[in-house]
């Protein structure tokens, strides 16, 4: 695991599917699929096709062959990349 900067816990690199339910201004949720890039005890980094609003709290699901994990995370940053967005989320 790598630890850099002011992180509270080391990050583990993990490439897996993530589901995010993002609410619009009316409260209607849209399911967005992303790819997890890294995860730690306190959050995760996700690559998505759509941007996400900083400060938004969204339901998150990560599915592995041996288990599924569900919870909520708050978007801390969203950075445009070539053909994608990198979203940093805090649990």
From first to last of its 91 residues, what are the pLDDT tens digits of the chain? Answer: 444 556 565 666 677 889 999 988 898 999 999 998 888 888 999 999 999 999 999 999 988 778 888 999 999 999 999 999 999 999 9
Question: What is the model's pLDDT at position 68?
Answer: 85
The pLDDT score that the predictor gives to residue 71 is: 94
Please report the pLDDT score of residue 1 as a whole number: 42
Count of Cβ atoms closer than 10 Å to residue 66 Cβ = 5
Token digits of residue 44 = 């995760």
For residues 79 and 50, give the distance between their C-alpha atoms in angstroms, rounded to a whole number. 11
DSSP labels, the chain: -B--TT-SS-BEEEEEEEEEEEE-TTS-EEEEEEEEEEE-SSEEEEEESS---TT-EEEEEEE-SS-EEEEEEEEEEEEEETTEEEEEEE-
């Amino acid at each position: 695991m790598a630890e850099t900067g002011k992180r509270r816990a080391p990050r583990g690199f993990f490439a897996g599917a993530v589901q995010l339910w993002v609410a619009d201004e009316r409260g209607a949720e849209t399911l967005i699929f992303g790819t997890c890039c890294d995860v730690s005890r306190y959050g995760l980094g996700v690559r998505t096709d759509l941007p996400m609003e900083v400060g938004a709290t969204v339901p998150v699901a990560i599915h592995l062959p041996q288990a599924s994990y569900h919870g909520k995370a708050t978007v801390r940053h969203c950075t445009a990349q070539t053909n994608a967005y990198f979203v940093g989320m805090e649990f």
